[in-house]
Amino acid sequence: MSAKPSTGRKSSRSAPEEAVVPTESVIGNAVAADQPKMKAKEYQKEMRLLQGELVAMQKWVLVTGAKVCIVFEGLDSAGKGGTIRRITERTSPRVFKHIALPTPTEREKSQMYVQRYVAHFPSAGEVAIFDRSWYNRAGVELVMGYCTPEQSARFLELVPAVEKAMVDNDIILIKYWLNVSVEEQTRRLENRIEDPRKIWKLSPTDLKSYSRQFDYCRARDTMITDRDRHRLPGGSAWTPTTRNAAGSTSSATC
């Protein structure tokens, strides 16, 4: 892959000169149509309003003792990290906690699969944001061969009961799947390769999984449809979100 490295910006909060905002999207293949342009000033104005709402939410979480768990899953380079940075940029790290777990240790591999995630579930007055989650078992682990199809299918059978237990214990569970078009994913990976400030984001798994986007999309469809088909009363459904360019999103419920 080859591409010109991106130019530097004065602030990490700066928006692209033209951020594309899709008005219509097809979640299955991350295609968007009829895309008006959002200028940087408009983007910053909207971001200021949204981050103000997050600060208000933070106060509500503290006052009410709410427990909020937000899961971000999606394709590599789909914008999970960037989205989480925007959420946590103006909020307190004591309230909004970014959870990005490393590869499990040998000890953790011997445990019940969800056990290492449970330790990071929110207590009263906290928002736990998972940058990838227990759904690795139905996504990256399945696609990359880190688990068997049988293990993944068993996970999808059991996870509704785990999430129902979370909800029954007053945890507000919100789950997002972030899609990205093949073209945008290519551009972002090329940018990571050529920009020395972003090379740390590139992992061997990113390069291996790049050629398996169809497998990821198939695993995503199975994960969402099977998980929601077996969803118990009081459980949580997914919200797929397409990101075709920096700063652009379009949401649709399953």
What are the structural domain ranges in the chain? Answer: 18-251
Average predicted confidence (pLDDT) for the chain: 79
Cα torsion for 54, 55, 56, 60, to the nearest 10°? 90
User: Is the pLDDT confidence value at 69 over 50?
Assistant: yes
pLDDT value for 79: 81
β-pairing, 171-179 vs 67-74, is parallel
18-251 folds as Rossmann fold (3.40.50)
pTM for this structure?
A: 0.74
Is the separation of the CB atoms in 81 and 131 below 8 Å? yes
Read off the pLDDT of residues 125-161 as tens digits, 9 standing for 90 and up. Answer: 999 999 999 999 999 999 989 999 999 999 999 999 9
Residue 22: the pLDDT is: 33
Write the pLDDT tens digit of every residue in 32-64: 444 566 889 999 999 999 999 999 999 999 999
* Model pLDDT for residues 182-218, shown as the tens digit of each residue: 787 778 777 777 888 887 777 777 767 777 878 888 8
Q: Tell me: the pLDDT tens digits for 90-118?
A: 999 999 999 999 999 999 999 999 999 99
The residue length of the chain stands at 254
